[in-house]
């Protein structure tokens, strides 16, 4: 197949480039309108009990949890007659806005003390913007500017709706900023790697085409399914990283074939037949790793699956089609732009006794001590991961300039209220009022409950404190009843404990428990429920792919174990830094919450694992090739590592540069990606590839390549094997001067 592709490209290179350019332009045209088709949020379980409770509240009672918090400040005091009049008018205006419901304020709730700050100079207005997350985002964009400094008051608009909007805007800014710094920095590194300005520019051209095509693909996917705005970051950064990695491998192999004496056409054929087939398997491993995320019923995670698979395929396609067409047009001019005769970091990497060969040989002389030392190091780094505490992200993930964060911090510090974090308990088929009253009394006696409101009145500490009145009538509708449980504390752990206590309390009938804390518990439960299936799928798929690559039964298992080991160390480092707060000042002074975002470990694992296996394919493909030539396990490992060690290291550094752009984000879990991904990739490309893999393969010896007879015959018929044009006899050429892939 790749040979036929080479023939097509060699015959019509300009036609191929013209078609690719047209598609890239179409994809780029989708970019400006793409964000309007994507949804914000999507980090919770839309099918969980809490989501069903929220749906029942909207459909039956016309109620929703407050997602807009208006903080009013005035030095005259919130009880001053002028401030009271202005605050009441502000509340009336907000309640009259289309799409806004459940508006309540200090001044319209009978001067409720929980909505007045301890200083007496601040008061709250709580409201709900109705609609989907995307509709809420658009509406809050219109409303927030109109209510700042309203009626002469100092007004800040915050709440969950504003937080979601700020996170979306920040994600867009991060993507733009990342691209602006990644391209020039990567170009400099590529010039150092290749030593030629022309060769260095090719991976960036392919990366740009990949990103543009990815934007168009995401636009098409939005016509078939709902995608999170987070998918744009995946296309941008993963597309840049993979396209650069694959192009690095291809350009290096093409230059090697030219140096070995091949003409342009034969060099293209051999490049596609060798490096090209490696890229096909590499892209397959990344795609499979990310496709397993589709198991999880969380929109942001599934969006990463869809966008990640599309990006892996497009990166490979651009590298296999666009790049060869450019090389055909350029021919030997790919070596132009050499600076002062500089040959690049890979210029002499093809020697049989270079750095990587010497390193592998040294490791294989003492394989057991090396394997034990590196494994112990990884396990030590991974120890903090045992204390990982997962929670949904809140306003504290944002930087200090966030209005939503500022409002929430003020409410937490100065108000004795948990109104915006209240639990809603829906009884779809309500029993008689006496049973509801008895149930409300039991709930109000729970340790974490401050107050319970329902159709029969308000309750505290197991007793009714306010009889049923006009304010309580809205808690019943169409034979259903709901109760609102206001927590004593806004702490995430306390809210989770209250949800568990509510669900453990005997109820008078079927119930649905909703609220932010319940959403967090349901999301974590959904992740834990689907995790075994996702891991099983990933394991089986990777073993099959790596078996087809190596023909070994043991090597795929070894590769999986080593990759998981390095990721364990990465998770330990993340917990130590972001959950426990060590080195916070070094990465932008983020707020330490004592938790890790629930979706972060799974998303980071899939992406890091896919990239780790990507490099496994680079290396194992070459080692297998050397083993077939020599029959010596030790020689194959040393020579294979020498041939691609420089490529893997350069690729790891380049993709780390791409993802390090996340470190500059004002969103804490984005920073965690910016640290976690480069850490995982670099550890995998150095300690695993340079030390642990050679050591364990030396310990395994020829057994490493073992497979039972039926599987050997299966691999012989369908396994991955190099298929390319025969190399022309080199004229005056010695050993290759660049690593063979």
Q: pLDDT for 144-154, tens place per residue?
A: 888 876 667 88
Is 370 inside a domain boundary?
yes
Work out the widest C-alpha separation in the chain, in whole angstroms: 100
Confidence of residue 339 (pLDDT cuts 50, 70, 90): low
Q: Are residues 138 and 220 in the same domain?
A: no
Count structural domains, the chain. Answer: 3
Is 54 inside a domain boundary?
no
| CA–CA dist 659, 611 (Å, integer) | 12
Q: How many other C-beta atoms are found inside a 10 Å radius of the C-beta of residue 145?
A: 9
Q: Are residues 153 and 248 in the same domain?
A: no
Chain-centroid distance, C-alpha 89: 44
Confidence of residue 733 (pLDDT cuts 50, 70, 90): very low
- Total-model pTM: 0.82
Supply the DSSP symbol for 467: E
What backbone torsions phi and psi does residue 458 show, to the nearest 5 degrees?
A: -115, 145
Confidence of residue 731 (pLDDT cuts 50, 70, 90): very low
Collapsed DSSP state (helix, strand, coil) of residue 461 = coil
End-to-end CA distance of the chain: 19
Collapsed DSSP state (helix, strand, coil) of residue 23 = helix
Is 506 inside a domain boundary?
yes
Is 729 inside a domain boundary?
no
Residue 342: per-residue pLDDT: 54
Residue 697: per-residue pLDDT: 92
Residue 15: per-residue pLDDT: 94
Q: 587 is written with which tokens?
A: 């990465």
Q: Are residues 529 and 669 in the same domain?
A: yes
Domain boundary among 107, 135, 158: 158
Chain-centroid distance, C-alpha 281: 23
Please check the confidence at residue 694 and state whether its pLDDT lies above 90. Answer: yes
| CA–CA dist 371, 367 (Å, integer) | 6
More confident residue, 190 or 536: 536
Q: Are residues 608 and 506 in the same domain?
A: no
Task: Provide mean pLDDT across the span 636-665.
Answer: 83
Confidence of residue 741 (pLDDT cuts 50, 70, 90): very low
Q: Are residues 145 and 187 in the same domain?
A: no
| CA–CA dist 155, 178 (Å, integer) | 33
Q: Are residues 595 and 710 in the same domain?
A: yes
Supply the DSSP symbol for 39: B
Is 403 inside a domain boundary?
no
pLDDT in tens, 99-124: 888 888 888 877 878 788 888 999 99
Please check the confidence at residue 520 and state whether its pLDDT lies above 60. Answer: yes
Kindly give the residue spans of alpha helices, DSSP state H, lying in 260-298: 264-271, 277-291
Instruction: Quote the percentage of the chain above a pLDDT of 90.
Output: 27
Residue 493: per-residue pLDDT: 64
Confidence of residue 310 (pLDDT cuts 50, 70, 90): very high
Q: Are residues 590 and 651 in the same domain?
A: yes
pLDDT in tens, 538-565: 999 999 988 988 888 999 999 899 888 8
Is 398 inside a domain boundary?
no
Least confident residue range of 5-9, 154-158, 334-338: 334-338
| CA–CA dist 691, 359 (Å, integer) | 8
Confidence of residue 344 (pLDDT cuts 50, 70, 90): low
- Please report how many Cα atoms fall inside a 13 Å half-sphere around the Cα of residue 337, on the Cβ side: 17
Q: Are residues 379 and 308 in the same domain?
A: yes
Domain boundary among 448, 481, 511: 511
Residue 663: per-residue pLDDT: 82
Evaluate whether 472 touches 502 at the Cβ level (below 8 Å). no
pLDDT in tens, 601-644: 888 888 888 888 888 888 888 888 888 888 888 988 988 888 88
CATH number at residue 710: 1.20.1640.10
Supply the DSSP symbol for 114: G
Residue 77, domain extent:
67-158
Length of the chain: 741
CATH number at residue 91: 3.30.70
- Please report how many Cα atoms fall inside a 13 Å half-sphere around the Cα of residue 411, on the Cβ side: 30
Q: Are residues 144 and 199 in the same domain?
A: no
More confident residue, 294 or 339: 294
What backbone torsions phi and psi does residue 246 show, to the nearest 5 degrees?
A: -65, -40
Do the bridges between strand 449-454 and strand 457-460 make them parallel or antiparallel, or are there none, so unpaired? antiparallel
Evaluate whether 615 touches 684 at the Cβ level (below 8 Å). yes
Residue 194: per-residue pLDDT: 76
Q: Are residues 27 and 175 in the same domain?
A: yes
Do the bridges between strand 463-467 and strand 596-597 make them parallel or antiparallel, or are there none, so unpaired? unpaired
Task: Provide mean pLDDT across the span 305-317.
Answer: 94
pLDDT in tens, 32-74: 888 778 887 777 888 889 999 988 988 888 777 788 999 999 9
Task: Provide mean pLDDT across the span 572-601.
Answer: 83
Instruction: Quote the percentage of the chain above a pLDDT of 70.
Output: 92
Is 412 inside a domain boundary?
no
Confidence of residue 426 (pLDDT cuts 50, 70, 90): very high
| CA–CA dist 38, 31 (Å, integer) | 11
The 3-state secondary structure of 46-91 reads CCCHHHHHHHHHHHHHCCCCCCEEEEEECCCCCCCHHHHHHHHHHH
What backbone torsions phi and psi does residue 414 show, to the nearest 5 degrees?
A: -115, -10
Please check the confidence at residue 322 and state whether its pLDDT lies above 60. Answer: yes
Helices 403-414, 160-194: crossing angle, 10 deg rounding: 130
| CA–CA dist 271, 738 (Å, integer) | 13
Evaluate whether 725 touches 272 at the Cβ level (below 8 Å). no
| CA–CA dist 606, 680 (Å, integer) | 11
**Closest residue by Cα to residue 310 from 241, 231, 249:** 231
Please check the confidence at residue 738 and state whether its pLDDT lies above 70. Answer: no
Supply the DSSP symbol for 685: I
Confidence of residue 654 (pLDDT cuts 50, 70, 90): confident
Most confident of 166-180, 228-242, 361-375: 361-375
Least confident residue range of 75-79, 336-340, 611-615: 336-340
Residue 348: per-residue pLDDT: 47
**Closest residue by Cα to residue 561 from 527, 599, 604, 609:** 609
Helix (H) or strand (E) segment spanning residue 502: helix 492-504
| CA–CA dist 612, 551 (Å, integer) | 20
Supply the DSSP symbol for 119: T
Residue 7: per-residue pLDDT: 86
Least confident residue range of 129-133, 424-428, 492-496: 492-496
Place of tokens 């009880």: 79
Kindly give the residue spans of alpha helices, DSSP state H, lying in 578-708: 600-630, 633-660, 668-683, 693-700
Domain boundary among 491, 511, 531: 511
Q: Are residues 101 and 192 in the same domain?
A: no
DSSP for 319-386? IIIIHHHHHHHHGGGGG-SBSTT---TTTTTT-TTSHHHHHHHHHHHSHHHHHHHHHHHHHHHHGGGG
Task: Provide mean pLDDT across the span 339-350.
Answer: 53
pLDDT in tens, 196-254: 788 888 888 999 999 999 999 999 999 898 888 888 888 888 888 899 889 888 887 88
| CA–CA dist 569, 383 (Å, integer) | 8
Please check the confidence at residue 583 and state whether its pLDDT lies above 90. Answer: no
Most confident of 414-423, 452-461, 576-585: 452-461
Q: b/e map of 623-657 (b: 16 or more CB within 10 Å)?
A: bbbbbeeeeebbbbbbbbbbbbbbbbbbbbbbbbb
Place of tokens 């750095």: 355
Q: Which residues pair with 425 in a beta bridge?
A: 483, 513
Is 740 inside a domain boundary?
no
The secondary structure of the chain in percent helix, strand, coil, rounded to multiples of 5, reads 65, 10, 25
Number of H helices, E strands in the chain: 25, 13
Evaluate whether 324 touches 9 at the Cβ level (below 8 Å). yes
DSSP for 441-453? HHHHTSTTEEEEE
More confident residue, 66 or 691: 691
Rounded mean pLDDT of the chain? 84
Q: Are residues 258 and 341 in the same domain?
A: yes
Confidence of residue 185 (pLDDT cuts 50, 70, 90): confident
């Amino acid at each position: 197949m790749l040979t036929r592709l080479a023939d097509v490209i060699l015959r019509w290179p300009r036609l191929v480039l013209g078609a690719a350019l047209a598609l890239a332009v179409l994809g780029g045209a989708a970019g400006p309108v793409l964000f309007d088709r994507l949804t914000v949020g999507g980090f919770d379980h839309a099918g969980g009990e809490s989501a069903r409770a929220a749906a029942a509240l909207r459909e039956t009672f016309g109620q929703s949890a407050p997602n807009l918090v208006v903080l009013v400040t005035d030095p005259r005091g919130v009880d001053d007659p002028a401030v009271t009049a202005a605050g009441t008018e502000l509340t009336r205006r907000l309640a009259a806005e289309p799409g806004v419901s459940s508006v309540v304020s200090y001044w319209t709730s009978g001067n409720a003390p929980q909505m007045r700050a301890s200083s007496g100079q601040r008061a709250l207005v709580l409201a709900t913007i109705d609609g989907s997350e995307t509709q809420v985002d658009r509406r809050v964009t219109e409303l927030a500017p109109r209510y700042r400094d309203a009626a002469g008051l100092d007004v800040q608009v915050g709440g969950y709706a504003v937080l979601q909007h700020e996170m979306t805007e920040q994600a867009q800014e991060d993507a733009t900023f990342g691209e602006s710094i990644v391209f020039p920095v990567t170009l400099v590194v590529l010039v150092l790697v290749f030593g030629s300005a022309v060769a260095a520019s090719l991976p960036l051209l392919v990366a740009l085409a990949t990103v543009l095509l990815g934007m168009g693909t995401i636009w098409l996917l939005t016509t078939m399914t709902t995608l999170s705005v987070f998918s744009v970051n995946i296309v941008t950064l993963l597309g840049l990283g993979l396209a650069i990695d694959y192009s690095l491998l291809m350009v290096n192999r093409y230059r090697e074939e030219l140096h070995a004496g091949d003409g342009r056409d034969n060099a293209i054929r051999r490049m596609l037949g060798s490096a090209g087939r490696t890229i096909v398997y590499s892209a397959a491993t990344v795609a499979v790793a990310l496709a397993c995320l589709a198991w999880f019923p969380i929109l942001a995670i599934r969006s990463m699956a869809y966008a990640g698979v599309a990006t892996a395929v497009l990166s490979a396609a651009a590298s296999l089609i666009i790049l060869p067409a450019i090389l055909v047009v350029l021919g030997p001019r790919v070596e132009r732009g050499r600076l002062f005769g500089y040959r690049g970091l890979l210029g002499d990497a093809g020697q049989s006794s270079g750095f990587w060969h010497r390193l592998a040989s040294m490791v294989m002389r003492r394989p057991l001590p090396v394997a034990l030392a590196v494994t112990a190091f990884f396990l030590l780094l991974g120890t903090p991961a045992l204390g990982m505490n997962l929670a949904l992200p809140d306003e504290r993930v944002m930087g200090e300039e966030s209005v939503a964060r500022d409002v929430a911090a003020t409410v937490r510090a100065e108000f004795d209220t948990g109104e915006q974090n209240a639990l809603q308990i829906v009884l779809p088929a309500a029993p008689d009022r006496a049973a509801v009253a008895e149930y409300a009394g039991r709930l109000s006696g729970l340790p974490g409950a401050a107050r319970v409101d329902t159709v029969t009145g308000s309750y505290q500490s197991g007793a009714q404190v306010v009889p049923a009145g006009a304010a309580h009538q809205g808690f019943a509708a169409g034979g259903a009843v709901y109760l609102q449980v206001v927590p004593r504390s806004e702490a995430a752990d306390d809210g989770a404990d209250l949800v568990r206590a509510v669900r453990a309390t005997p109820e008078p009938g079927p119930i649905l428990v909703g609220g932010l804390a319940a959403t967090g518990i349901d999301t974590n439960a959904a992740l834990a429920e689907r995790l075994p299936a996702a891991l099983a799928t990933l394991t089986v798929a990777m073993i099959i792919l790596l078996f087809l690559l190596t023909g070994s039964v043991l090597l795929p298992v070894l590769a999986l174990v080593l990759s998981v080991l390095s990721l364990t160390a990465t998770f330990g480092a993340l917990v130590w830094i972001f959950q426990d707060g060590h080195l916070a000042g070094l990465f932008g002074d983020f707020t330490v919450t004592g938790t890790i975002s629930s979706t972060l470990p799974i998303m980071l694992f899939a992406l890091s694992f896919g990239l780790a296996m990507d490099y496994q394919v680079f290396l194992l493909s070459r080692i297998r090739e050397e083993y077939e030539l020599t029959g010596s396990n030790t020689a194959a490992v040393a020579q294979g590592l020498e041939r691609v060690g420089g490529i893997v290291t350069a690729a790891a550094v380049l993709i780390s540069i791409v993802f390090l752009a996340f470190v500059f984000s004002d969103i804490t879990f984005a920073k965690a990606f910016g640290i976690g991904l480069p850490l995982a990739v670099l550890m995998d490309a150095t300690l695993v590839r340079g030390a642990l893999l050679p050591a364990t393969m030396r310990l395994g010896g020829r057994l490493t390549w073992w497979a039972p007879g039926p599987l050997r015959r299966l691999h012989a018929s369908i396994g991955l094997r190099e298929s390319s044009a025969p190399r022309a006899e080199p004229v005056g050429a010695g050993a290759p001067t660049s690593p063979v892939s």
